[in-house]
Amino acid sequence: MRLESVIEQPFALELCRKWLKRQTTHPLLFYGPVGVGKKMMALEVAKALNCTAGLEGDSCGSCLSCRKIAAGNHPDVRVIDLAWQAAERKEPIEKQQNLRIETVLAERHRLLQSSVEGPWKVSILDEAHRLTPDAANVLLKILEEPPHSTALILVTPFRDRLLPTIVSRAQPVRFRYRERAPHLSHEEVEAHRQSETLWESLANLPPARLIQPAEGRARSGKLGRTEIEDHIQRLLVPATRALRAGDPKAQEPARLLHNALTQLRQNVQPGLVYDNLLLQLSKERTAR
């Protein structure tokens, strides 16, 4: 892969190109819907920074540095996310709800050292909205004075959940919905398919049936906040598509979905938010 091949996000690509040209440590903030290639773009930026082929503002995709970044084992390029934290803490991933201060402190320590192989140290902070307030404050310190030759890329679907001070210190790069999302894993594709089915069935199924078979398990009390957020984000895909196609019937569902996301942000109990959402959606659809 090369930066050039990220054609589905022309605006984000253009901003990244300009940013690369400036050879700056000004942090980047990638935001936009789930599954549209934010993390992939971050890795392409990391490749472009460290590629040894000497292409200006792009990568070759085949030198040792590019290959190591693609394989996730370049010593100067790190993706910090819940999975990384779980591995570092030797804990199961299910136990990771937030990105903790220890994780960010350890990354700060790394960034203050010299790079190991490449000219640039790259830190990709995925799901940046999961930072605890403590962790966010440590991150803020790093953003205020990024160590030299350091690129920080924050990635999140929820820009408005970051501290405003963090947002204001990073260059925002917005990613948009697109029709096809080729970089989804098999599980994600399956999850999207289920969401599409759920969306289709909203008009036909009575509320009680909707909640149970939709997720193939008992009521959503068992689902975590992350899972529920993902479910809602995925339901937004067909809703937004219908809106863009000019379907007026999609307006209310889209509003309900956005409301539910807001409630999650306000710490309303996730199972409750989800159950209520499905009930309202179903009522709304069957009322027609």
State yes or no: residue 40 binds Zn ion (CB under 5 A): no
Token pair of 57 as six digits: 């503002």
Q: Which is nearer to Zn ion, 63 or 203 (CB)?
A: 63
Residue 49 CA from chain centroid, whole number: 22
Site for Zn ion in 175-204 (CB under 5 A): none
Q: Which string of x and - marks every residue 126-165 that binds Zn ion (by CB under 5 A)?
A: ----------------------------------------
DSSP symbols for 53-88: S--TTS--S-SHHHHHHHHT--TTEEEESHHHHHHH
How many residues form the binding site for Zn ion (CB under 5 A)?
6
Give the containing element (helix H, strand E) for 241: helix 225-244
Length of the chain, please? 288
In whole angstroms, how close is the CB of 80 to Zn ion at the nearest point? 23
In whole angstroms, how close is the CB of 12 to Zn ion at the nearest point? 21
Q: Which is nearer to Zn ion, 60 or 184 (CB)?
A: 60
Tell me the window of 45-53, 78-86, 108-116, 247-255 that interacts with Zn ion (CB under 5 A): 45-53
Q: Which is nearer to Zn ion, 44 or 230 (CB)?
A: 44
C-alpha separations of 191 from 35, 122, 195, 196, 266 in Å: 12, 31, 6, 9, 25
Burial of 287 (0-12, 13-18, 19+ CB in 10 A): exposed
Q: Which is nearer to Zn ion, 48 or 239 (CB)?
A: 48
- Sheet containing strand 28-31, edge to edge, reads 77-80, 121-126, 150-156, 28-31, 171-174
User: Among candidates 195, 205, 202, which has minimal Cα distance to 249?
Assistant: 202
In whole angstroms, how close is the CB of 124 to Zn ion at the nearest point? 18
Site for Zn ion in 51-70 (CB under 5 A): 51, 53, 59-60, 63, 66
In whole angstroms, how close is the CB of 53 to Zn ion at the nearest point? 5
Q: Which residues bind Zn ion (CB under 5 A)?
A: 51, 53, 59-60, 63, 66
